[in-house]
Amino acid sequence: MTSQQLELIARRGLTLPEPTLTRLRSVGIWCEANLTVQRRDQDWLIRGQESGGAVNDIGRYVGFCKEDGSALSWLQPVKNFMPNGLHAILLAKGPIVAPQFFRSNGSEARVTHLYQQAIFKMTEDVTCTQCKHQHLLEPPSLEVSVADLESVKVSAPVA
Helix (H, G, I), strand (E, B) or coil at 124: helix
Which of 131, 140, 145, 155 lies at the binding interface for Zn ion (CB under 5 A)? 131
Closest to Zn ion by CB, 29 vs 92, is 29
Q: How many residues bind Zn ion (CB under 5 A)?
A: 3
Q: Which of 119, 128, 136, 137 binds Zn ion (CB under 5 A)?
A: 128
Segment lying near Zn ion (by CB under 5 A), choices 114-122, 125-133, 137-145, 148-156 = 125-133
Q: How far apart are CA 58 and CA 98, in angstroms?
A: 20
Q: What angle do CA 8, 13, 19 make, to 5 degrees?
A: 95
Residue among 112 and 130 whose Cβ is closer to Zn ion:
130
- 39 Cα distance to chain centroid: 20
> Candidates 10-18, 62-70, 74-82, 123-131 — which segment interacts with Zn ion by CB under 5 A?
123-131
Which stretch in 3-11, 44-52, 70-78, 130-138 sits in contact with Zn ion by CB under 5 A? 130-138
Q: If DSSP states are collapsed to H, E and C, what string results for 62-110?
A: ECCEECCCCCCECCEECCCCCCCCEEEEEEECCCEECCCCECCCCCECC
Residues found near Zn ion in the complex (CB under 5 A): 128, 131, 133
